[in-house]
Structure 1
Amino acid sequence: MKARRSTSGLPRAEGEATQGHRNPLGTPAGRGSRIRAWPAANSRTRAAVKQRAELDALQHGVRYRRMFVTLLSVIVVVSSVVVLLGTIGLFAETRSRPLTPTEQSRYQQEEIARRWQAWPATGVFPEEVKYLGLDRAQQYARRVGIAPETECGKGVDASVAGVLQSHGCLTMLRATYIDQTASFVITVGVAVLKDEESRVSATEELTQDDRVGVLPVAFPGTISERFGPDQRQRTGWVGAGPYIVFSTAGYADGRTRAAIPPEEILHSELWPAAKSVGNQIAYFLADPPKVPPCTQGNVC
């Protein structure tokens, strides 16, 4: 074989491939390539791949939609059950039914406790109040006037005020009456406690001294104008519901207690009349109301 001279001046074999015909990886051009040749993707292949991707996405969307619909259905069902149970419970609670003994008692207590506010002043202190006079004859005391509502401590003597205030007295209502003969003046005071339990506790601490109690209320220009603390002959009280009803009485002519012999204070008709008027007003305030048989009236 003849040797050819290369461009560099060195001889080379005749069959040696030139640099321009060598494989880029250094493999001679005459040998087969070890790298697998991938066929070029045509338009049909690309369309099939795209279709498969869209189908997979669609199947994922269907699965998620089913999960969402299922979850939403569960929420709707649970909500419906809750609403149904609530409706049944509300109906059972609000439907008319007979009152229990405890509910009847609470109804009466609440009704009595709010009378001092619910009733007009003329309802608490009627214009005329019955009482028993001599020989137990029925007579009527007539109202002279109603005093403005005042604090408990300002409507009674100091020793009584401390007891009332310590037990949560709310207010004091007072009115003045005269007997049927216009000989006696009677002031009635209603101390309003927060509840019956407080009233009971307060009355257990009240003094039995008949010289202290509610302060008289005089109305100028009337037969009661000379009735003051010194003119009180006796005082007393009676409990009724959440109320303590005080009463005090004196002579319309202004005589003081010091001017009256003790036997007259104890045995005259003055005090029975005053006590009877106070008891009547206490009875009005604490008279048990008629309780409806059912929670919504008279029909269960």
Structure 2
Amino acid sequence: MRTWPAAGSRARAAARDRVEREALQQGVRYRRIFVMLLSVIVVVSSVVVLLGTIGLFAETRARPLTPAEQNQYKQEEIARRWQAWPATGVFPEEVKYLGLDRAQQYARRVGIAPETECGKGVDASVAGILDNHGCVTMLRATYVDQTASFVITVGVAVLKDEASRVSASEELTQDDRVGVLPVAFPGTVTERFGPDQRQRTGWVGAGPYIVFSTAGYADGRTRAAIPPEEILHSELWPAAKSVGNQIAYFLADPPKVPPCTQGNVC
């Protein structure tokens, strides 16, 4: 039997409509899925940003320093003083010391030597110890006592940290004939002060620093020319030791620590 054209057209049209409706419905479903995924991504991103902001605020907001942070602040401040301070800050123009009858007197700085390698500022036996423990540099200055009778050279050996300084100090001997090498300044009362003129030497630890001191007579007398009992009991060495200790105190004096991570207000 022959199919009537009108009936076939209606069937094909209905089929096309059905296919289009199914395609449209599928597109709507895909769009809904896409919108849902996009919404989830936006929500998750917002949560991540919010949590990150909260975390950043928690990290950067001012809060009291912990005891460990306070100690670290002190150590870092002390360790950088040899660079942060001017040379005249490390070696003040005048340093107090106690003279005869414990009278307060002042040693006067004659000059500051150029910064040098640790091994070049001390005797060889001391140089090896400093080098083995990572000595960074050596700073030296020379003073005279209030009567200009004694010449005192102070040397600051800068170690990389306090632990290194402690280790190096444990290996230093108590031999008072070796230590920092004197620095003389021509045309001054110190010009005759050399290694042979050293009467005694010593050192003290302070933070990451070993502060050496050595002293002699301004008239150029050698250690060999002085009776042993005078070397041990003269006024010279207490004055020299006091000057070295004062400079060590300046360098290692604990700084004032801010109470909070961002200053004085938490």
Q: Structure 1-normalised TM-score?
A: 0.84
Match for 2:57 among 84, 91, 97?
A: 91
* 1:78 match: secondary structure: helix
Which residue is 2:188 aligned to? 222
Compared CA separation, residues 234 and 63, structure 1 to 2 (3 A): same
String of CA shifts for 1:247-300, please: whole Å, max 9, x gaps. Answer: 001111111111111111111111111000000000000001111111211111
- 204-213 vs 80-89, which moves further: 80-89
What is the deviation of 1:43? 4.9
Specify whether residues 42 and 239 from structure 1 end up closer, same or farther in structure 2 by C-alpha distance, changes over 3 A only: same
Residue 260 of structure 2 corresponds to residue 294 of structure 1: yes
- Alpha-carbon distance in 2 for matches of 1:142, 1:45: 117
Q: Which has the higher contact order (CA 8 A, sep 6+)?
A: 2
- The whole-number CA distance in structure 2 between the counterparts of 1:171 and 1:37 is 112
Counterpart in the other structure of 1:273: 239
**Other-structure match for 1:118:** 84
Shift of 1:46: 4.2
Tell me how far apart the structure 2 counterparts of residues 51 and 173 of structure 1 sit (CA, whole Å).
96
Max radius of gyration: which structure? 1
- Pairwise CA distance, 1:44: 4.6
Unmatched runs of 5 consecutive residues or more in structure 1: 1-35
Q: Helix, strand or coil for the counterpart of 1:82?
A: helix
Q: Which has the higher helix share?
A: 2
Counterpart AA for 2:192: R
Instruction: Please give the secondary structure, in 1, of the residue aligned with 2:263.
Output: coil
Please list, as runs of the form range in 1=range in 2, the aligned pairs for 1:103-252 lying within 5 A after superposition: 103-252=69-218
Partners in 2 of 1:39 and 1:275 — Cα distance?
Answer: 127
Aligned to 1:25: none
Query: SS of the residue aligned with 1:142?
Result: strand
Name which of structure 1's ranges 126-135 and 99-108 shifts more when overlaid on structure 2: 99-108
Give the letter for the 2:72 counterpart.
R
Does the C-alpha gap of structure 1 residues 56 and 230 become closer, same or farther in structure 2, counting only changes over 3 Å?
same
**What SS is found at the alignment partner of 1:72?**
helix
Structure 2 stretches of 5 or more lacking a match? none
Fraction of identical pairs, as percent? 89
TM-score by length of 2: 0.94
| 48 and 200 in structure 1: CA distance in 2 versus 1, 3 angstrom threshold | same
Distance (Å, rounded) in 2 between the aligned partners of 1:93 and 1:37? 86
Deviation (angstroms), 1:84: 1.2
Q: CA deviation at 1:55?
A: 2.5
Q: What RMSD, in angstroms, separates the aligned Cα atoms of the two structures? A: 1.7
